[in-house]
Amino acid sequence: MRKRNRAWVSSRRRRSRRGSRTCSPRSRCPTGSRSAGPGRDGFGDGPRRARGVRRGLTEITARFGAGGAHDGEGCSGACLELEALAAGSGSPVQKRVTGSQMSGKACGGPLRGRMTGGGAGVGRCFGTFGELLQGTLPERGRGFLVTLPISRYSTAGFVASRGSSEVRVHPPGKEKSRRLAEKLVRILAPGRGGSLYIRSELPTGKGCASSSADMVATARAVQRALGTPISRAALARAMSSIEPSDGVMYPGIVSFYHREGVLRRSLGGLPPLTIVGLDEGGRVDTVEFNERARAVGRARLAEYEDLLVGMERAVASGDLRSLGEISTRSAVLNQERLPKENLGLMLEMRRAYGALGVVVAHSGTHLGLLFDSRSGRPRDLSTVAAELARHGPNVCVHQVPDLRTTSAFLQPLA
């Protein structure tokens, strides 16, 4: 009788363990315990939520183990770190993913999904150091910019869930990305919701395309999770309905109508460049900045048109001297709209150190000197940084990767 009771208890325990399993081995559920608890996204609360987040991130990365060589934006061979704060757990949950694990377009190639309705995905997007050029054209007063990608990124993870159409974001301040994710999920998978996790190396309100990079990374994570392709053009329009956005959904350097979310031209790449920059402090709200009315005279409109044509030609031909002259002129013209206190200093240092030109965040607080990394001497760059440090504590150095050979930035358009 005791042996029979012992066997019965043992079988009950085995069934209990099977019943509480988060997902069966063949299941596509990213987090989804049958006893997940009260959390709307299936993660539960407190320690249970922390375990759910950890399972979700593990499932996200496990799915990238098959499907082709990695060709995402800017992370070939590099190690990525996706960090999500588990609500109530008091500690970050981290999962490191090597570039070789990131299959297909997982973290930032063309927005084409290879998953078939799974529930988790990761996306990644580069930021910028301001713009090479920004202004207004005579044609209907269209605002435009020319991007300057840098090797700093935003990474997003999205875990889809059923039972609620709400999208929750961590950290909570990433409201623009949450709105975009909610909009995309509502279109691509009505009735579903999920949890969005964002980690960014880009400062906010400084002119480094932080919000745009967050949103592109978010869109890439959502399309991976839902297995539905999203074209860059559609994404650009969706983003522009939230705020004027940089063209970072496109690879390489582009000219872009940022208020409309429309690509003007894909310009290709440049040799590796180095930016030694200075942050003048404070923050600029992109939406508020672009809502300010500004009359631009005919002569200035014509000049911007000439500058844009010249910049497109300079990038296409790799003419760094012309590029530097045009970016410097754009920085000077931007003093009429958002003055930089240290622009005069930058112009003097450009001549003293032989920099290619001055670059600024036209709607931000950064400005810097642009150097050709192939001919730049590290000692000179250190001297430049030390001199800038005497005028402000927030000195930064950024790399513009070799966009001619870095496949991460030169993916064909979706």
The C-alpha atoms of residue 136 and residue 396 are separated, in whole angstroms, by 29
* pLDDT for 3 beyond 60: no
Question: What's the confidence (pLDDT) of residue 68?
Answer: 26
pLDDT above 90 covers a percentage of the chain that reads 52
Query: Pairing mode, if any, of strands 273-279 and 253-257?
Result: unpaired
Whether the predicted pLDDT of 331 surpasses 90? yes
- Which of 142-146, 279-283, 392-396 has maximum average pLDDT? 142-146
- Between CA 379 and CA 146 the distance in angstroms is 30
Distance CA 131, CA 264 (A): 15
φ, ψ dihedrals at 166, nearest 5°: -80, 140
One-letter amino acid at 236 equals: A
Kindly list the structural domains of the chain, giving each domain's residue range(s) and its CATH number in brackets, ordered by start.
Answer: 269-400 (3.30.70.890)
Question: What is the value of pTM for the model shown?
Answer: 0.71
pLDDT of residue 96: 31
Q: Report d(CA 153, CA 201) in Å as an integer.
A: 6
**Residue 288: predicted pLDDT:** 78
Gap between the Cα atoms of 246 and 264, Å rounded: 12
Do residues 89 and 50 make contact, with C-beta atoms less than 8 angstroms apart?
A: yes
* CA 323/CA 368 separation, integer angstroms: 14
pLDDT tens per residue, range 79-118: 222 222 222 223 232 333 333 232 233 333 333 333 334 4
Residue 103 to residue 71: CA distance in whole angstroms: 7
- And the tokens for 312? 């497109």
